[in-house]
Structure 1
Amino acid sequence: MTHALAYDSWPPVWDEAAVAALPEDGHRYEIYEGALLVSPPANWEHQGIESNLLVMLHQAAPAGWRVLTDLGVDCGNNKLVPDVVVLRPGALGNGKQYGPAQQVALVVEVESPSTRMNDRNAKTIIYAETGIPNYWRVERNPAGWVIVVYELVEGSYQQLHRLEPGESATLTAPYRLTLVNNL
């Protein structure tokens, strides 16, 4: 079923309540600086990458850690939906569409043509300003998918690893695991 939302009925500034009134139609709704960002459902390749990372992170997770996809994260005035989120032990959420960023240990963004600029620029800054300690970005290059691993150091992300296809690295955060780029 298709739901129409007349442009003239949009709020001048989007907030969580306005997004909650939108239909649950498979689109990803994010708020950036009061503007609504709408992404279409991910394609098969994108979802396959999310799934592979979800399984790998879940299998390595110590007891109490949770690994989820498409979970809304409250980053102050910005409300974002990373592709994969690792929650700290004891994370309870807040009963809202976008949960507290303080409970997030890692966010992962898988680039697509429509999200590349935001994933590399705005989201990187927002996640760092919010204090999320670990950020991975999966980028497409001519050789295949590359996983770039960042750690928050003194308020900004520092690149720890850039894994080309077939490469691996042993990480200690968000918990100990061997990250293998078999995407």
Structure 2
Amino acid sequence: MTWCVSSMRPFPGCLDRLRAEINAAVPDRSTPITHAAVRELPYLNAVINESQRLRPISPHGMSRIVPKEGVMLGGYFIPGGTTILASIKTLQEDKNVFPDPMAFKPERWLADESTVATMKRSLIPFQIGPRACIGRVLAMMEMRLTIAELVRHFAFEIPPHLQTDMTPVNRFIYRPKDNKYVVLPHRID
């Protein structure tokens, strides 16, 4: 969620659009937000997808060892016993799938169904296959609820004296270089 909030901050229009979508879905600000109310919100899901695309939880995936008989992969024979690793970060920055891949653009996830389906095949923030994160459904639910509540009730400020270096550093998972993200929340309701 740190990456989601830090990615939106430079784009006030993004935060405003997300806040409007959440407020339209749950207009009574005293009513707690439920997952049923926000699960299908297009822009909320677009913001989460885009932040996970640019800052995947584990950018380099998990290594696998090729079975002893070897395997054909992408037209190449990989000998048995070889350790292979798919770079999730590289897949999620493919300019053929994600034009302008280094830019934070949640709107790309609001494109036609075919384009979104192609992007979803390249978005693998929780790994895929038998070693995929078993908590991914719960994690997505928690992200939707937490981001919706934060955006609904708070504006975020970063005073100059509290600036942190958000350069991503891979320590199995991506973390900000300063290992923190300091923001001052201001209640808006």
TM-score bracket for this pair, using the shorter chain length: under 0.3
Higher helix share: 2
Give TM-score, length-normalised by structure 2.
Answer: 0.25
Greater length-normalized contact order (CA 8 Å, ≥ 6 residues apart): 2
More strand by share: 1
